[in-house]
Amino acid sequence: MVTIKDVAKEAQVSVATVSRVINNQGYVHEDTRAKVEKAIKALQYRPNNVARSLFKKKSKMIGFIVPDITNPYFPQLVRAVEDVTNKAEYTTFLCNSDEDLKKELMYLEKMQENHIDGAIIVSNTLELEHVERLNLPIIALDRFFHNSIPSVTVDNYNEARKAVRFLLENGCKKIAHIKGPKYIENSILRQKAYEDEMNEQNMPLIECEGEYHLKDSEKAFLELLKQNPDIDGVFAGNDVMAVGALKAARRLNLSVPEDLSVMGFDGIEWTETVSPEITTMAQPIYEMGKRAATMLLELIDGKRLDDVHVVYDTEMVIRESAKRR
């Protein structure tokens, strides 16, 4: 391994001078700079970020904890975060938590050990103290975490109400809801929105559990449809489950949207791959990831955040599965 010392020797200067050249700071004569740069090139020298981190207590690395990268919602987020942090010369550690507290804690420790400069987390299981004791800039993404932790989310409740209202306005008489997991904040808010909207219209609640998964949703909703053949609309807690609903409908030879209107939430690409394409409340996913990353970098730079809790609206993307009458 070629070190700063080797470069110094090659260029016949001191290590300090080399350091000045690398970091582009302090005075250094043009001629010496040229000599050093030549030596660097000749030796193919790359500064050792580990040594640098040790001294600076800044690693230029950030952590990102997501529940499960194979859930199509998250890759977009990861992409956005990486695009932003990268431009600022940061690298990103990715961690899959499986919504498992133990794993999350393990990852936090690892991050701490590696001296990361900050982290973005998508979690409902971690508690404030776990995060606070890192004593590091943290941004909560996709899910609100705690008042004292800056966050980037969508207005799940109000946007979900809009979704249900859309089904109502278009003449659906019996609207079901496919719920997500009980322990996920988002999921609860979307469910509550459905219930409040329905109650306000004095309409009966018909629900089943889809666990944010395709197969679970398909199965549960199939049962629900069998028991309630007059269901003519469904609001799924996320797009993955909306696809499940579509599959269930197909099994019973129901036409969408003629017999059944299907409404999703999230705006993932799946909604465009299926037929009919699914109407959904699209989150500005990439934008959210970008924002969270930008905020994190600001915190790392010691700046203060303009908005601590950023809440986005969704965009209702009307497609085939539920449309204006």
Nearby residues of 179 by Cβ (< 8 Å), 6 or more positions away = 187, 191, 207, 208, 209, 210, 237
- Check residue 147 for interaction with DNA (CB under 7 A): no
Binding mask 206-245 for a copy of itself (x = CB under 8 A): --------x----------------------------x--
Structure tokens at 28: 């250094």
- Check residue 57 for interaction with a copy of itself (CB under 8 A): yes
- Residue closer to a copy of itself by CB (options 59, 279) is 59
Binding mask 148-187 for a copy of itself (x = CB under 8 A): ----------------------------------------
Distance CA 138, CA 296 (A): 7
Distance CA 223, CA 208 (A): 9
- Residue closer to a copy of itself by CB (options 27, 55) is 55
Taking the complex as a whole, the smallest distance from the CB of residue 93 to a copy of itself amounts, in Å, to 6
- Residue closer to DNA by CB (options 6, 196) is 6
Distance CA 268, CA 131 (A): 29
The answer to whether the peptide bond before residue 204 is cis (omega within 30 degrees of 0) is: no
Q: What dihedral angle (degrees, nearest 10) is formed by the CA atoms of 73, 145, 183, 167?
A: -60
59 binds, among a copy of itself, DNA, none (CB under 5 to 8 A by kind): a copy of itself
250 binds, among DNA, a copy of itself, none (CB under 5 to 8 A by kind): a copy of itself
Q: Which of 5, 7, 12 lies closest to 43, judged by CA?
A: 7
Structure tokens at 176: 């079901």
Are the beta carbons of 159 and 288 closer than 8 angstroms? no
22 binds, among DNA, a copy of itself, none (CB under 5 to 8 A by kind): DNA
Phi, psi angle pair for 152, to nearest 5° = -130, 115
- Check residue 28 for interaction with DNA (CB under 7 A): yes
3-state secondary structure of 31: helix
- Check residue 302 for interaction with DNA (CB under 7 A): no
Contact pick of 41, 42, 48, 169 for DNA (by CB under 7 A): 48
Q: Which of 95, 99, 108, 104 lies closest to 136, judged by CA?
A: 108
Give how many residues touch a copy of itself by CB under 8 A: 48
Residue 146 DSSP code: B
- Check residue 14 for interaction with DNA (CB under 7 A): yes
Stretch that binds a copy of itself, among 93-101, 141-149, 196-204, 298-306 (CB under 8 A): 93-101
- Check residue 129 for interaction with a copy of itself (CB under 8 A): no
Taking the complex as a whole, the smallest distance from the CB of residue 60 to a copy of itself amounts, in Å, to 8
Residue 290 DSSP code: H
Residue 177 DSSP code: E
Stretch that binds DNA, among 18-26, 64-72, 231-239, 265-273 (CB under 7 A): 18-26
Residue 323 DSSP code: -
Integer CA distances (angstroms), 59 to 92, 276, 304, in order: 11, 48, 21
Binding residues for DNA (CB under 7 A) = 1, 3-5, 12-17, 19-20, 22-23, 25-29, 31-33, 47-48, 51-52, 54-57
Binding residues for a copy of itself (CB under 8 A) = 1, 44, 46-51, 53-54, 57, 59, 61, 68-70, 72, 74-76, 78-79, 82-83, 91-96, 109-110, 112-115, 133, 214, 243, 246-247, 250, 269-270, 272-275
